[in-house]
């Protein structure tokens, strides 16, 4: 008898699902947004358009929800499959947002937003030089290598990590066809542009002013938000000294110093973990005379990741896994800085 009952139930659910279109509804509670509603009801974020279409007249102008309002949930693929067991396993996978950006290159264009650790944070990333100016140049195995390509590769890797934590990221100097490159020799080119899409001038002062203005205009637009600028170079001047990485900030910027300290601390920790026999030597100091440090509005750090002309540094920066590690360490410092803000 029980067996028949089970079969009956199976048929019942079959007809419920297929025989008519079920419309699940839910009442919005305080603090609910589309995202949290989807999460609670185990609906993939890809159905967001359907949700908006179904509930158009009950949404705020920015697609926010009204407390106490009933909302229709979109029918997902899972809803329309025939249920063939009485107790289907409830999968506890929360929907994750996916971003696509071809700037990161074919292999890295998809970015999954893993969490919201950096939600609300805004980053401006400037890799040194670019366009007609390759920065420091050197030959390696008969091939020309340049500072700007390596700084840019680290910058892209960093940008991806920040995006995966829900941050807003502006890549100020960009190359539309380079992407993240998992190789040693990054060919020199001259087609980088400055945000949003401006040709980079040859004159150094105009070049620096252009990127400074790009950042400052955006900064004003986002006034009030947590905003940080990270500038990366690979041509530290004191190549004679045995210092690995330099972090510079503006002398009067408390937030800039804190940012530099946080990234520096992250480097110290990582070095201790990965290279216990090698003493890490980095330094944080103010260097307010540099054009970008002096003229940009957000709290900022100017990082010299070594010197591409120095054989030891060259060996490190040419290895893409090391570039990934550098991006990781900067990223960790940025996470601490945002957490402790
Ligand atoms: Zn440089």
Calculate how far, in angstroms, residue 210's C-alpha sits from the geometric centre of ligand 1.
16
Q: Which two tokens stand for residue 232?
A: 């990366």
Q: Which two tokens stand for residue 163?
A: 């995006």
Average pLDDT over residues 108-131: 97
Closest CA to 331 of 129, 94, 206, 159: 159
Q: Cite the residue boundaries of each domain of the chain with CATH code 3.40.630.40.
A: 97-339
Average pLDDT over residues 57-80: 82
Contact present, 315 and 149 (Cβ < 8 Å)? no
Average pLDDT score over the chain: 87
Calculate how far, in angstroms, residue 327's C-alpha sits from the geometric centre of ligand 1.
17
Calculate how far, in angstroms, residue 75's C-alpha sits from the geometric centre of ligand 1.
53
Calculate how far, in angstroms, residue 230's C-alpha sits from the geometric centre of ligand 1.
13
Those residues with Cβ within 8 angstroms of residue 320's Cβ, 6 or more apart along the chain or in another chain: 153, 181, 182, 183, 184
Calculate how far, in angstroms, residue 235's C-alpha sits from the geometric centre of ligand 1.
5
Confidence of residue 242 (pLDDT cuts 50, 70, 90): low
Confidence of residue 22 (pLDDT cuts 50, 70, 90): low
Calculate how far, in angstroms, residue 254's C-alpha sits from the geometric centre of ligand 1.
24
First to last CA, the chain: 65
Confidence of residue 128 (pLDDT cuts 50, 70, 90): very high
The β-bridge relationship of strands 168-171 and 121-127 is parallel
Q: Which two tokens stand for residue 13?
A: 């659910």
Calculate how far, in angstroms, residue 313's C-alpha sits from the geometric centre of ligand 1.
14
> Ion ligand 1 — residues with CB under 5 Å?
128, 135, 233, 235
Calculate how far, in angstroms, residue 131's C-alpha sits from the geometric centre of ligand 1.
13
Those residues with Cβ within 8 angstroms of residue 317's Cβ, 6 or more apart along the chain or in another chain: 150, 234, 305, 306, 308, 323, 326
Calculate how far, in angstroms, residue 15's C-alpha sits from the geometric centre of ligand 1.
68
Calculate how far, in angstroms, residue 64's C-alpha sits from the geometric centre of ligand 1.
45
Calculate how far, in angstroms, residue 258's C-alpha sits from the geometric centre of ligand 1.
23
Q: Cite the residue boundaries of each domain of the chain with CATH code 3.10.350.10.
A: 2-80
Q: Report how far Cα 185 is from the mean position of its chain's Cα atoms.
A: 24
Confidence of residue 96 (pLDDT cuts 50, 70, 90): confident
Phi first, then psi: give them for residue 232, nearest 5 degrees.
Answer: -125, 135
Q: How many CB atoms lie within 10 A of CB 10?
A: 15
Confidence of residue 240 (pLDDT cuts 50, 70, 90): low
Calculate how far, in angstroms, residue 233's C-alpha sits from the geometric centre of ligand 1.
4
The answer on pLDDT for 93 being more than 70 is: no
The answer on pLDDT for 241 being more than 80 is: no
Average pLDDT over residues 268-292: 81
Calculate how far, in angstroms, residue 271's C-alpha sits from the geometric centre of ligand 1.
24
Calculate how far, in angstroms, residue 127's C-alpha sits from the geometric centre of ligand 1.
8
Q: Which residues face 99 on adjacent strands?
A: 111
Calculate how far, in angstroms, residue 268's C-alpha sits from the geometric centre of ligand 1.
23
Calculate how far, in angstroms, residue 238's C-alpha sits from the geometric centre of ligand 1.
13
> Residue 327 to residues 160, 161, 305: CA-CA distances in angstroms?
9, 8, 10
CATH topology of domain 2-80: Membrane-bound Lytic Murein Transglycosylase D; Chain A (3.10.350)
Range among 11-15, 26-30, 89-93 rated most confident: 26-30
Burial of 230 from C-beta contacts in 10 A (0-12 / 13-18 / 19+): buried
The pLDDT assigned to 78 comes to 59
Q: Which two tokens stand for residue 84?
A: 């063939």
Calculate how far, in angstroms, residue 105's C-alpha sits from the geometric centre of ligand 1.
24
The pLDDT assigned to 94 comes to 66
Calculate how far, in angstroms, residue 253's C-alpha sits from the geometric centre of ligand 1.
22
> Residue 233 to residues 80, 130, 255: CA-CA distances in angstroms?
54, 11, 21
E-strand stretches of the chain: 25-27, 70-72, 97-100, 110-113, 121-127, 137-140, 143-146, 168-171, 173-174, 193-194, 198-199, 226-233, 245-249, 282-286, 299-304
Calculate how far, in angstroms, residue 263's C-alpha sits from the geometric centre of ligand 1.
19
Distance separating alpha carbons of residues 24 and 30, to the nearest angstrom: 20
Average pLDDT over residues 165-192: 97
The DSSP string of 51-104 is HHHHHGGGS-TTSPPPTT-EEEPPPPHHHHSPP-SSS-----PPP-EEEE-GGG
Calculate how far, in angstroms, residue 211's C-alpha sits from the geometric centre of ligand 1.
14
Calculate how far, in angstroms, residue 40's C-alpha sits from the geometric centre of ligand 1.
48
The answer on pLDDT for 209 being more than 80 is: yes
The pLDDT assigned to 21 comes to 52
Calculate how far, in angstroms, residue 307's C-alpha sits from the geometric centre of ligand 1.
9
Phi first, then psi: give them for residue 252, nearest 5 degrees.
Answer: -95, 0
Lowest model confidence (mean pLDDT) among 1-15, 197-211, 297-311: 1-15
Report ipTM (2 d.p.): 0.88
The answer on pLDDT for 275 being more than 80 is: no
The pLDDT assigned to 322 comes to 94
Domain boundaries 97-339, CATH class: alpha beta
């Amino acid at each position: 008898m029980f067996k028949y009952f089970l079969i009956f139930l199976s048929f019942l659910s079959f007809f419920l699902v297929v025989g008519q279109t079920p419309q699940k509804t839910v009442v919005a509670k305080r603090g609910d947004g589309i995202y949290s509603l989807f999460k609670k009801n185990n609906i993939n974020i890809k159905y967001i358009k359907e949700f908006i279409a179904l509930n158009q007249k009950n949404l705020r102008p920015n697609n926010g929800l009204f407390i106490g309002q009933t909302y229709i949930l979109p029918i997902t693929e899972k809803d329309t499959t025939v249920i063939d067991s009485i107790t289907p396993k409830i999968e506890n996978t929360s929907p994750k947002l996916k971003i696509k950006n071809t700037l990161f290159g074919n292999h890295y264009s998809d970015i999954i937003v893993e969490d919201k650790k950096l939600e609300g944070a805004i980053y401006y990333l400037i890799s040194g030089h670019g366009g007609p100016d390759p920065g420091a140049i050197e030959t390696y195995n008969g091939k020309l290598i340049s500072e700007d390509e390596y700084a840019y590769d680290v910058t892209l890797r960093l940008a991806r990590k920040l995006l995966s934590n829900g941050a807003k990221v502006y890549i100020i100097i960009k190359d539309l066809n380079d992407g993240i490159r998992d190789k040693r020799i990054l060919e020199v080119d001259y087609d980088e542009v400055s945000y949003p899409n401006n040709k980079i001038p040859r004159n150094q002062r105009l070049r620096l002013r252009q990127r400074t203005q790009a950042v400052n205009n955006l900064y004003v637009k986002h006034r009030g938000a947590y905003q940080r600028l990270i500038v990366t170079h690979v041509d530290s001047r004191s190549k004679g000294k045995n210092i690995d990485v330099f972090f510079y900030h503006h002398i009067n910027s408390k937030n800039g110093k804190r940012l530099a300290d946080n990234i520096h601390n992250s480097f110290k920790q990582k070095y201790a973990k990965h290279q216990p026999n090698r003493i890490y030597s980095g330094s944080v100091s103010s260097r307010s005379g540099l054009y970008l440090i002096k003229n940009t509005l957000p709290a900022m750090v100017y990082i010299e990741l070594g010197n591409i002309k120095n054989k030891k540094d060259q060996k490190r920066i040419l290895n893409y896994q090391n570039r990934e590690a550098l991006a990781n360490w900067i990223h960790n410092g940025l996470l601490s800085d945002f957490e402790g803000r």
